[in-house]
Each structure stands twice: as C-alpha cells, then as structure tokens.
Chains A and B, each alone.
Chain A
Amino acid sequence: MRIALFADIHGNREAFEACLADARRRGAERQGFLGDIVGYGADPAWCVDTVSRACEHGAFALLGNHDAAVGTPTESMNAAATRAIEWTRGQLDTAQAAFLAGLPLERVEGDALFVHANGWAPKDWGYVRSAVDAERSLRSTTQRMTFCGHTHVPVLYHMAPLRPPAEHVPVPNRNIPLSLSRRWLAVLGSVGQPRDGNPAACYGLLETSPWDLTFVRVPYDTAAAAEKIRKAGLPESLATRLQRGL
C-alpha cells in the first residue's frame, strides 16, 4: 500500500493541488492529512472541502492547532497567525467549521502512529525540533513509527534499542527504507508553507510493505499563492515567506 501523507496544508490551494496531482502520478492509493488544513493561506474553504471529500473515500484526517483555533480561539499564536485565523473563520461555513472541530488528534494503524505535533501530548502542540524531542515522543508511545508535522521542516529521526536517536536530513525524492530493527519518527515538512529554505511544497509518500518513506518536493506557483494572500488583505509576511521557503 502506498499512502500519501500531507501535513500543514495551511489553506494553500496551489501547493495542495500540485501535491495531490504529484501523489496520483506516483501511484498513491490512499491519503492521510496530518493536521493544519487551514491558517495562513487564502483558500481555506477549498482545502477543507477537498480533505473532507477525500475522507469519504478512505482517507483519514487529523486535527492541527490552527484547525482547532478556528473553533476555539487561543492566545498562544503570534500576531500574523491570529489575524489569519480570524480571517479564516469568516471564510468557512458551518459545515466546514464542524468538519474541522470533529477531527481526531491521532490515529494508530498497526505499527504506525499518525499525529500532528508529537506523541507525548498531542493536544498541547509541543514541537519535535531535536533528537531529544524525538526520543521523548518515541518513548511515550508504543508504535514503532511516528509520522507528524507541525514544524514545517522535514527531518527523520531513528533510534536503535538502547542507543540515543540520530537525525537525518532527507534528500528530496529519494526513498528511505524504514528498517524493522529500529524506531522512526518522521516530521513530514509542510505542503503549504515550507520553512526549510526550499519553497517547494513537501509531502510524504509511505510504502508499507516493506516500510519505505520518500520526502517528496513539488515546485508550485508560489507567486500566485502569495498574490492571493495579499488580495485577501492578510499580512504581507505570509505572502513573502512562501517565495523564500522560510
């Protein structure tokens, strides 16, 4: 089974469409959405509709902190993110908001845990930013593999029994076997707002037999997505960062 994993879409229709088409070309049979479908980008309604339609056909979707903030305002976000969420709230109808509110925090399938932020306290939204965080997350779950998003920076941690974890910065579009003798935590990178210096959209392509993961990068029309953000009256910083990938 080949599953396409999309994290941190953030209302960026141009990036999301490019990734969906790419995943189809690469033969993905199933989709998983790891949270933060909205926030920052100019097309939240389209993105929510696309995800909810996919869920009617076997996909699964999880809750992200921005999705949660649509229904429950939070004070932990920065000014640009807060403005974007307030604007997003006005863009979604009742059904779309209800879809977001009904999303679960995590999903377990056999050996794999899917979650937006981390494994130790999914609803507290702590970041996995280092090997120490990755170890904390892996040690608080029983699954051999964890797939998450939230940081917008693709990275793969791996840990052998009784050894400290190691960090691997994935090379785009190269598959990595996830060997059975160790534990893995993949931070998938972001579809709609990459922050690793590469503006191309990022998603994960997971092969389950044998386990094998590819961090796929998809170049898309960042100028168009940025222009829509400006037209919507959202903060300029949200537009410019798309073109720099930072």
Chain B
Amino acid sequence: MALIRVAEGATIDGFTVGKRLHQGGMGSLWSVSKDGEPGPLLMKCPVFNEGDDVSAIVGFEVEQSILPRLSGPHVPRFVAQGDFSRLPYIVMEHVQGRSLAEWSGTAPVPCEEVAYLGALVARALQELHRQKVVHLDLKPANVIVRNTGQAALLDFGLSRHEELPDLLAEESDVPMGTGAYISPEQIVSDRNEPRSDIYSLGVILYELVTGKLPFGSPQRRSGMLKRFWRDPVPPRRLRKDCPEWLQEIILRCLEIEPEDRYASGSQLAFALQHPDQVAITARGRRLEQDGVVTTFRRWARSQTLQKKLRPPVTQHVSSAPIVMAAVDLSHGVDTLAETLRVHARRALDADPSARLACVTVLKTSLMSIDQDTDARGNSTYVQRLVELKDWARPVAGDDDRVSYHVLEAVDPAAALIEYAHHNQVDHMVVGARASSALRRYLGSVSAKVVAEAPCTVTVVRAHA
C-alpha cells in the first residue's frame, strides 16, 4: 500500500491538516479544517507498522463502518472518510466539552453529581442502542460531556452494529475491551449484549463515587474473570455518605447476569433521575462483601460458563419500554381516569421488562405562590401524590416497576411532553375529554401531546 503521509500543513482531500493532538499505539489524531465544513474537526488515522496488533487496524475499519451510520448529539458528527487502499482516515466533529476522565481523575465526586453524570451517559447509551450499536468499550476517556450538557460517546473501534458483519468476531481469543470496565459476558466473547454497556457504566459510577475501581485494572483474562465470583466492596463501605439508592443502582448495573441489570439505558437514567423512586433492596443496604461460601458457590458455577446465544441488540431496547400514564386527577377519579388505568395496565402486562410511570399535573397559576398549602398545612402537592397512588393502586399493587410523579406546571401539555422527552419515554397513555366549544378554542392537552410528544401516544376516551 502506498500511503500518503499526514503532516501539519498538508492538504488531504480538501482538508487542511493542523496540529497533531494525539499520537498513540493505535493511531494519531489531527486537528483539521475545510472550507464550508463547520468546525472544529478531527482526523483520525490508524498506524500501520510491521508486527502491530492487527486488531488495531480492524478496529479502525469497524469505526469506519459504524460512525457514518450514527447520528445525534450523543456521538461525534461523521464528516468524511478516506479509502483504505490509499489513505485510511476518518474526519469527524471534534467534540467540545469536558472528558469524563477529568471527573474520574478527581474522584470521589459528590453523589448528586455522579447521578447527574450517570444519567447523561445512560441517555446517550439508550440513543446508541436504539441505533443498533453496542459500544463495548465504555470508559471515562470515551465520554465527553458537551458544553450543552449532553454526553457524547467516542471511539467505536470495538463496537458491534447489529446489521453489519462483526469483523472482530473471530479476530482474537483474548477479551476485547478495557480490563477495568469490561463486562463478564464480553470476557467470554459475547459481543451482542447492550447491557454490557450498562455494566461498564456501573463500573464508572462506582469509580466516581468511591475513587476506586471495583475490580482493579486486570490486563489478563484470568484477572478479568474474577468478577464472575468476587463481588465488589459495597460503595457505602468506602464512602459513608453514599446513599442507599445510589449503591442500589450501581450494584444492580454490576450484576453478573445481564438479565439482573437495568434493561435499558433509559431505565437506568430514570432511576438516577428519580432517587426517591428506587426500590431499595439488601443490595443497596449492605456494607460487607459476600462471605466465603457464596463466593465459592459463584466460583464453582463460573467454571461451567457457556457462551449464551442472545437476541439482537435492538430487541432488548424495544422490549424494555418506559410507559407513561398521564392522568388528569383535577376532577378526582372519574370515568376517564378509570378507563386510562385499564389501558395503563395493559401496556404494563404486555412486557415483563416494562416500567410504568404514573404522572399527573398539578396546574399552578403564576399568581398563586402562597396557595400551595391548605388551611391545615397539607401541601397540595403531597395531597395530589396520595391521590395518584390511590388511583394506581388497583393495577399497580406493590409492583416495583411502577413509579409516581406529580408535575407542577402552568401548561400541562408542555409539562407532559417535557417529561416524556427528559425520561426517554417510549409510550404515553393519555386521556382525552369530550369535545366542547371551549376546548376547541383553548386547544386540548391530548391534541398537543399527540402532535409534539417524542414517543408513541395512545389516546384513551371514556365511553359516553
């Protein structure tokens, strides 16, 4: 192969090469610019040296095939790529912001900040999984928090696209990933599991909270395998002010079986954004690692590990929906609220991994600052929350997949849409009242929700 050399000042396919930003074993990064292309831009070039790890080159090809298929703020914008036979390169957006490595470098980080950052990354993972890609090398250095407050994921060299051949499938017999963050199933060469990314995010959260890595930083397969039987020291033992809900979330992400982790990025983000809704189990309360007997049992079981066949990437994502029931309780539990409850239950029954968020809006007026508490001092907010739980009780029981949210807003429709957007809701069930002249004039909540919500919407009507 006759390769063109990349150097400062060179022009390659119309891109003017600026400073070299990074030179590593896998390749180099250059700042580039081009007329008409909004910048700043980055050119990534692989290294080809005799005796190099061939998987570095394959990784570059994997990124070349995946990045052009991705879109949105959670990934760098793809700009161009160079032909492999002449000069292989990828030009992409140079994402501006702060690397998550800056936070992990100064860990421990305040717990509220960990939850905030974790939710950003979890939302980015949801977007990535929706686009049929599992990252498989999630670590602080591969996450940038944009100045706009969104997380962008970098480096897709080890990623897996559901619709493309897995060029890395037969590439190597050693686990591919980063020893500290790699999931158990990746160690045994399963590359089709989106919840592997949830696991890696769990390691990141653990690191941010405690300043320590839960399984150290093993380089060899034998060292990585330990996480199959040795559970990490509970974060609350290392950090007294770590709340139970945060430990519950972190240790759930770090479950060995993917089935026991959060089913999707949006469900994890949901938990991190609503600590009061996290059902705390023994996992969240414990202060000690498991004893010798449990550990030995897990070790014994791990000796017969089989590579399991798993369904495709997007199947997980679409089958772990967040369903939102938006109920209007300003008239108490009327026929419409009852009908809505039936439909909410159906949505929950359709899928065991679904979550139901019951949401109601407490309409506030801009003038009524002092009317939040009634004569007996009960906040109307608490009263509405009680009513919401009472409404849901016949279908929800003590199902821990159900959560409750009272939004206070001037414009109910806007609040519901914002909630659906912020929580990556997949399906909203909302009631519609009968038509009237006034409603036509003012516009109905359900009509606005249908027009603007970022998800599937079911409109429920009570039979007249």
Q: Which residues of A contact B (CB under 8 A)?
A: 156, 158-166, 168, 171, 174, 176-177, 179-182, 210
Does B84 make an interface contact (CB < 8 A)?
Answer: yes
CB proximity of B122 to chain A, nearest CB, Å: 27
CB proximity of A117 to chain B, nearest CB, Å: 22
Q: Which residue of B lies closest to A210 (CB)?
A: B83
Binds A, one of B32-40, B145-153, B162-170, B422-430: B162-170
Which of chain A's residues have a CB closer than 8 A to the CB of B166? 166, 168
The number of A-B residue pairs with CB atoms under 8 Å apart is 45
CB proximity of A145 to chain B, nearest CB, Å: 13
Known contacts A156-B165, A165-B170: A177-B57 contact under CB 8 Å: no
Report yes or no: B163 in contact with A174, Cβ–Cβ below 8 A.
yes
Known contacts A179-B65, A180-B85: A166-B170 contact under CB 8 Å: yes
Does B188 make an interface contact (CB < 8 A)?
Answer: no
Task: Offer 29 A-B interface pairs, CB within 8 angstroms, sorted by A.
Answer: A156-B165, A158-B165, A159-B170, A160-B58, A160-B170, A160-B171, A162-B54, A163-B170, A163-B171, A164-B170, A165-B170, A166-B166, A166-B170, A168-B164, A168-B166, A171-B162, A174-B163, A176-B164, A176-B165, A177-B64, A177-B65, A177-B164, A179-B64, A179-B84, A179-B167, A180-B85, A181-B57, A181-B58, A181-B61
| Contact pattern, B 51-95, Cβ under 8 Å of A = 1, otherwise 0 | 000100110010011000000000000000001110000000000
Tell me the complex Cα distance, A42–B264, Å: 51
CB proximity of B318 to chain A, nearest CB, Å: 15
Which of chain B's residues have a CB closer than 8 A to the CB of A180? 84-85
Dominant SS among interface residues on chain B: loop
Tell me the complex Cα distance, A114–B84, Å: 23
Which of chain B's residues have a CB closer than 8 A to the CB of A177? 64-65, 164
Report yes or no: B57 in contact with A166, Cβ–Cβ below 8 A.
no
Which of chain B's residues have a CB closer than 8 A to the CB of A165? 170
Which of chain A's residues have a CB closer than 8 A to the CB of B163? 171, 174, 176
Report yes or no: A161 in contact with B54, Cβ–Cβ below 8 A.
yes
Tell me the complex Cα distance, A158–B169, Å: 10
CB proximity of B158 to chain A, nearest CB, Å: 15
Report yes or no: A160 in contact with B85, Cβ–Cβ below 8 A.
no
Tell me the complex Cα distance, A231–B64, Å: 52
Which of chain A's residues have a CB closer than 8 A to the CB of B162? 171
Q: In the complex, how many residues of chain B place their beta carbon closer than 8 angstroms to a beta carbon of chain A?
A: 18
Q: Which residue of A lies closest to B62 (CB)?
A: A179
Which of chain B's residues have a CB closer than 8 A to the CB of A182? 167
Residues in B108-137 with C-beta less than 8 Å from chain A:
none
Which of chain B's residues have a CB closer than 8 A to the CB of A210? 83-84
Known contacts A160-B54, A171-B163, A210-B83: A179-B61 contact under CB 8 Å: yes
Tell me the complex Cα distance, A164–B172, Å: 10
Q: Which of A160, A161, A180 has the most CB of B within 10 A?
A: A160
Report yes or no: A166 in contact with B165, Cβ–Cβ below 8 A.
yes
Which of chain A's residues have a CB closer than 8 A to the CB of B85? 180
Q: Which residue of A lies closest to B61 (CB)?
A: A179
CB proximity of B317 to chain A, nearest CB, Å: 16
Report yes or no: B54 in contact with A158, Cβ–Cβ below 8 A.
no
Q: Which residue of A lies closest to B60 (CB)?
A: A181
State which of A163, A164, A168 has its C-beta within 8 Å of the C-beta of B165: A168
CB proximity of A29 to chain B, nearest CB, Å: 21
Tell me the complex Cα distance, A31–B57, Å: 34
- Knowing that A163-B171, A168-B165 touch, tell me 4 more A-B residue pairs with CB under 8 angstroms: A160-B171, A164-B170, A165-B170, A179-B64
Which of chain A's residues have a CB closer than 8 A to the CB of B170? 159-160, 163-166
CB proximity of B306 to chain A, nearest CB, Å: 20
Tell me the complex Cα distance, A156–B164, Å: 10
Report yes or no: B83 in contact with A158, Cβ–Cβ below 8 A.
no
CB proximity of A207 to chain B, nearest CB, Å: 13
Tell me the complex Cα distance, A156–B166, Å: 11
Which of chain A's residues have a CB closer than 8 A to the CB of B167? 158, 160, 179, 182
Which of chain A's residues have a CB closer than 8 A to the CB of B164? 168, 176-177
Which of chain B's residues have a CB closer than 8 A to the CB of A161? 54
Residues in B156-183 with C-beta less than 8 Å from chain A:
162-167, 169-171
Tell me the complex Cα distance, A176–B84, Å: 15
CB proximity of B87 to chain A, nearest CB, Å: 12
Which of chain B's residues have a CB closer than 8 A to the CB of A176? 163-165
Which of chain B's residues have a CB closer than 8 A to the CB of A166? 165-166, 169-170
Which of chain B's residues have a CB closer than 8 A to the CB of A158? 165, 167
Which of chain B's residues have a CB closer than 8 A to the CB of A163? 170-171
Which of chain B's residues have a CB closer than 8 A to the CB of A159? 170
Tell me the complex Cα distance, A210–B54, Å: 22
Which of chain A's residues have a CB closer than 8 A to the CB of B171? 160, 163
CB proximity of A146 to chain B, nearest CB, Å: 15
Q: Which residue of B lies closest to A179 (CB)?
A: B61
Which of chain A's residues have a CB closer than 8 A to the CB of B64? 177, 179
Which of chain A's residues have a CB closer than 8 A to the CB of B83? 210
Tell me the complex Cα distance, A181–B57, Å: 9
Q: Which residue of B lies closest to A168 (CB)?
A: B165
Q: Which residue of B lies closest to A177 (CB)?
A: B65
Which of chain B's residues have a CB closer than 8 A to the CB of A171? 162-163
- What 8 A-B pairs have minimum CB-CB distances, sorted nearest first? A168-B165, A171-B163, A166-B169, A166-B170, A180-B84, A174-B163, A179-B61, A177-B65
